[in-house]
Amino acid sequence: MIAFVLASYAPDTPAGIERATAALAAGLRLRGHDTLIISAATEAEAIVRLESLRVTFPMDDRALRRAIETSSVSDEIAEILDRHRADVVVYTDALWGLGRAMANHPARKVLAVHVVGHDEDLRPALSSADTVIAPSVTVLREAARHDYETSAWQVVPNCLLYDEGAWLDQHRRERVRAHGPVRVLARSAPEKGVAELLDHLPELDRRVEVLLARAPFEQPDGQNEEVLHRCLSVDAPFLQVRRGGLAWRHVPSWLAQAAVVIVPSLAETFGLVALEAMNVGTPVVAYDIGNLPELIGNGGVIVKRDEGPYGLWQAAMTITQDPITYLRTSRAAYYRSRDFRPTTVADIFLKAVR
């Protein structure tokens, strides 16, 4: 039994760690392993709810930290692991994955560092972990810049939750290239760069559709609401901005119907939306930041950060105007995504925790 711990986990949550956790668990099941997710947000099949961690989402880091410190959550996790005979437990983050409160239990303790968070969370989590994994070399570099010793950390990339099996056929992809919209799928967070992208929206000859969602760790009265307000206030006849997320199962088809997906993130330790777009043959346009250049490669267009939003828009329009380059990029995107199939990444994970 392999258990995952994530306080905010609930199906269809619009956040990368949740979706990455679900995808790795699915890959492990396909490899014959039983899995369990421990959550403070929901209870369902294969999910056990933490009763001792009394929290209400959305909430911020400080509130969650206080709730952990005043709870008996470590003891409850130990009891759950014992009851389900867990051999491995993955704390999916130092704070939100409760790595700072690792249980005293013989199961192998794995800390997944999706982002380098606060030192007051990461230091105690690292001191208790048997194995540390990260989704990209980008995270290792960032951690090293913060003076963490990362020589023993191992890269286990995020993987696809739904492996669609084949990129769109050539004729359908050509129709999408010619007439499909440019799409953006992101959280309404400043670091996702969507407000900046729309602030510099040029006149285009096709639709632009933006879908913004709020994650459980984002407060409704903070910067995220400001981003959402800015995006909703942009007025253009070809622009549609909607608030609210998509069910995870619907993400691939929504991305597949886009001519191009723009990922305007200003910081990205992996780039799950980019990977999901590539898996359905949709070229991706993104800045040369974080893990995105390595992930996307020839499956899209990488724009220098100093070119700003204009560079992203220009790249998106240019690639849709050349059918041959577009089709070649679409095909490359799909085949690059093959390295991130659920079973492939499950095998990498199992090797890392042995």
Q: Which residue has the higher pLDDT, 214 or 320?
A: 320
Q: Which residue has the higher pLDDT, 231 or 170?
A: 231
* Residue where the block lists tokens 């084949």: 166
Q: What is the pTM of this model?
A: 0.94
The pLDDT score that the predictor gives to residue 165 is 56
% the chain with pLDDT above 70: 97
193-251 pLDDT per residue, tens: 999 999 999 999 899 999 998 877 666 557 778 888 899 999 999 999 999 889 999 99
Give the pLDDT band of residue 311 (cuts 50, 70, 90): very high
What's the chain look like in SS3? CEEEECCCCCCCCCCHHHHHHHHHHHHHHHCCCCEEEEECCCCECCEEECCCCCCCCCCCHHHHHHHHHCCCHHHHHHHHHHHCCCCEEEECCCCCCCHHHCCCCCCEEEEECCCCCCHHHHHHHHHHCCEEEECCHHHHHHHHHCCCCCCCCEECCCCCCCCCCCCCCHHHHHHHHHHCCEEEEEECCHHHCHHHHHHCCCCCCCCEEEEEECCCCCCCCCHHHHHHHHHHCCCCCCEEEEECCCCHHHHHHHHHCCCEEEECCCCCCCCHHHHHHHHCCCCEEEECCCCHHHHHHHHEEEECHHHHHHHHHHHHHHHHCCHHHHHHHHHHHHHHHHHHCHHHHHHHHHHHHC
CA distance 187 to 73: 29
The pLDDT score that the predictor gives to residue 182 is 98
Assess contact for 293 and 141: CB atoms under 8 A. no
Q: What is the mean pLDDT of the chain?
A: 94
Q: Residue 46 is encoded by which pair of tokens? A: 């294969």
The pLDDT score that the predictor gives to residue 44 is 85
- Domains of the chain are 2-156 (3.40.50.2000), 170-339 (3.40.50.2000)
Lowest-confidence region among 151-155, 186-190, 237-241 = 186-190
Mean pLDDT of the region 5-27: 95
In angstroms and rounded to an integer, the radius of gyration of the C-alpha atoms of the chain is: 20
24-40 pLDDT per residue, tens: 999 999 999 999 999 99
Mean pLDDT of the region 80-109: 97
The pLDDT score that the predictor gives to residue 219 is 60
Residue 166 has pLDDT above 60, yes or no: no
The pLDDT score that the predictor gives to residue 169 is 77
Q: Which residue has the higher pLDDT, 239 or 164?
A: 239
Residue 351 has pLDDT above 80, yes or no: yes
Residue 126 has pLDDT above 80, yes or no: yes
Give the pLDDT band of residue 60 (cuts 50, 70, 90): confident
Partner residues linked to 155 by β-bridges: 134
The pLDDT score that the predictor gives to residue 163 is 81
Give the pLDDT band of residue 168 (cuts 50, 70, 90): low
Q: Which residue has the higher pLDDT, 1 or 15?
A: 1
Looking only at the bridges linking them, the beta strands covering 182-187 and 260-263 are parallel
CA distance 139 to 284: 21
User: CA dihedral defined by 197, 224, 37, 101, rounded to 10 degrees?
Assistant: 120
Question: Nearest-CA neighbor of 215 among 12, 6, 26, 2?
Answer: 12
